[in-house]
């Protein structure tokens, strides 16, 4: 079965070998306060910075999921309010989580065909974090790096947090244009679930220490303190950190990875465009995701195609949230091979 699910998704085919190596080298049993661990952790973080073009002065943390990152940001980086711009289920969930702790947080929903327009409201006299979902996995839209740069320019003194869960590792992001970025690894990174990375600017670190929230095991000041020694506040998913290290050693720099994904996406969109009874859910090419492509159609047809695909060895992603019945989703993640995508195209073109 080839998985085109946009998370948990197809893992790199080298993963079984790396797991074996991890076992043979004792990685699965190392102590998370040991020299061996600190070496793996620091090397993984260096590789992340090198391959994804993360500024040297940003701090990388390990967390257990993107959901946990929502919580860390909410408890440790927002002192009063936040502004959430979203057009789909994940951005909305982030807002809902935040609202439980910060009643004043505000959500702005925008249309899935529209580009994020933050200029409609003036936040310049307001304090509070700006929260953006860069790649909305539920509906296959994205906020371009140019848009995020605009937000940065307009609001240089606000902290900006970006959920890049289903794009980081596949898409070139301009980390300098925001203060907090995070992603769990079971999507674009092509790894098994159970870990996330969270990347913070010096401004975000400063703010966390100012707020100095220390009520939780994953309060950011504790994480900052432990990360001075490449460690975590709890026993982390050491195996997944190791696997991330091995994958990062192997992958090309992110600009090359992204270029390849974009080329493949073009072919992919062309194929989907010609399918009978089905069309791309997102019509505006400027907001279409590079990594998650939802295809829409009559619920009956969608159901049939998903089942037939499964019978043929292709796992398509179910629709999500309000698009559950009338879409399936196809991941365009780096761990998926060109020939696998081609095989899927042949299947889709022939299906009826
Ligand atoms: C999958 C996803 C999440 C949640 O990730 P978990 O690892 O399950 O916590 C959050 N945001 C986006 C955009 C996602 O795609």
What is the residue extent of each domain of the chain? 2-8+254-350, 15-250
Do the domains 15-250 and 2-8+254-350 match in fold? no
> Looking at residue 114, what is its pLDDT?
97
Q: Which atom of ligand 1 is nearest to the CA of 136?
A: 13
Q: Which atom of ligand 1 is nearest to the CA of 7?
A: 1
The verdict on pTM exceeding 0.85 is yes
Out of 148-157, 247-256, 266-275, give the one with best mean pLDDT.
Answer: 247-256
Cβ < 6 Å from ligand 1: which residues?
Answer: 7, 65-67, 90, 133, 137, 163, 165-166, 184
Q: Model confidence over 296-315: pLDDT tens digits? A: 999 999 999 999 999 999 99
> Looking at residue 10, what is its pLDDT?
98
Q: Tell how far the Cα of 24 is from the centroid of ligand 1, in angstroms.
A: 32
Q: What percent of the chain has pLDDT over 70?
A: 100
Mutate to test the pocket of ligand 1, among 97, 140, 165 (most ligand atoms within 8 A of CB): 165
Asked whether the predicted pLDDT for residue 8 surpasses 80, the reply is yes
Mean pLDDT calculated for residue range 259-287 = 95
When pLDDT is cut at 50, 70 and 90, the band that residue 200 belongs to is very high
15-250 carries CATH number 3.40.640.10: yes
pLDDT averaged over every residue in the chain: 96
Q: Tell how far the Cα of 339 is from the centroid of ligand 1, in angstroms.
A: 27
Q: Tell how far the Cα of 54 is from the centroid of ligand 1, in angstroms.
A: 21
Q: Tell how far the Cα of 71 is from the centroid of ligand 1, in angstroms.
A: 12
Residue with CA closest to ligand 1 atom 10: 66
Give dist(CA 302, CA 273) in Å, integer: 15
Mean pLDDT calculated for residue range 240-267 = 98
When pLDDT is cut at 50, 70 and 90, the band that residue 183 belongs to is very high
Q: Model confidence over 46-97: pLDDT tens digits? A: 999 999 999 999 999 999 999 999 999 999 999 989 999 999 999 999 999 9
Q: Tell how far the Cα of 210 is from the centroid of ligand 1, in angstroms.
A: 28
Mean pLDDT calculated for residue range 260-266 = 97
When pLDDT is cut at 50, 70 and 90, the band that residue 352 belongs to is confident
Q: Which atom of ligand 1 is nearest to the CA of 68?
A: 9
Q: Tell how far the Cα of 165 is from the centroid of ligand 1, in angstroms.
A: 6
86 versus 118: the higher-pLDDT residue is 86
Asked whether the predicted pLDDT for residue 175 surpasses 90, the reply is yes
* Architecture of the domain defined by 2-8+254-350: Alpha-Beta Complex (3.90)
Residue with CA closest to ligand 1 atom 14: 165
Mutate to test the pocket of ligand 1, among 95, 133, 137, 290 (most ligand atoms within 8 A of CB): 137
């Amino acid at each position: 079965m080839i998985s085109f699910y946009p998370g948990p998704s197809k893992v790199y085919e080298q993963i079984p070998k790396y797991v074996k190596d991890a076992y043979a080298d004792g990685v699965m049993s190392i102590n998370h306060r040991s020299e061996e661990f600190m070496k793996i952790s620091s090397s993984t973080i260096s590789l992340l910075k090198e391959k994804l073009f993360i500024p040297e002065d940003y701090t990388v943390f390990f967390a257990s999921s993107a959901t946990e990152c929502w919580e860390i940001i909410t408890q440790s980086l927002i002192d009063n309010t936040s502004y959430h711009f979203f057009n789909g289920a994940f951005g909305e969930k982030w807002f809902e989580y935040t609202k439980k702790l910060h009643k004043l947080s505000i959500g702005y929903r925008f249309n899935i065909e529209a580009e994020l327009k933050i200029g409609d409201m003036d936040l310049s006299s307001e304090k509070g974090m700006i929260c953006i979902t860069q790649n909305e996995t539920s509906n296959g839209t994205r906020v371009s790096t140019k848009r995020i740069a605009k937000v940065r320019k307009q609001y240089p003194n606000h902290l900006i947090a970006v959920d890049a869960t289903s794009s980081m590792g596949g898409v070139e992001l301009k980390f300098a244009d925001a203060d907090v970025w995070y992603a769990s690894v079971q999507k674009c990174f092509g790894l098994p679930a159970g870990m996330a990375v969270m990347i913070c600017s010096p401004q975000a670190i400063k703010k966390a220490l100012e707020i100095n929230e220390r009520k939780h095991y994953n309060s950011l000041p504790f994480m900052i303190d432990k990360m001075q020694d490449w460690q975590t506040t709890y026993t982390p998913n050491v195996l997944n950190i190791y696997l991330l290290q091995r994958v990062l050693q192997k992958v090309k720099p992110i600009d090359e990875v992204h270029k390849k994904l974009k080329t493949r996406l073009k072919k992919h969109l062309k194929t989907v465009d010609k399918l009978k009874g089905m069309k791309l859910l997102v019509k505006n090419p400027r907001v279409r995701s590079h990594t998650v492509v939802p295809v829409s159609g009559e619920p009956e047809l969608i159901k049939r195609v998903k089942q037939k695909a499964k019978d043929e060895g292709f796992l398509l992603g179910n629709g999500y949230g309000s698009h559950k019945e009338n879409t399936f989703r196809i991941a365009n993640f780096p761990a998926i091979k060109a020939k696998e995508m081609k095989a899927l195209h042949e299947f889709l073109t022939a299906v009826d």
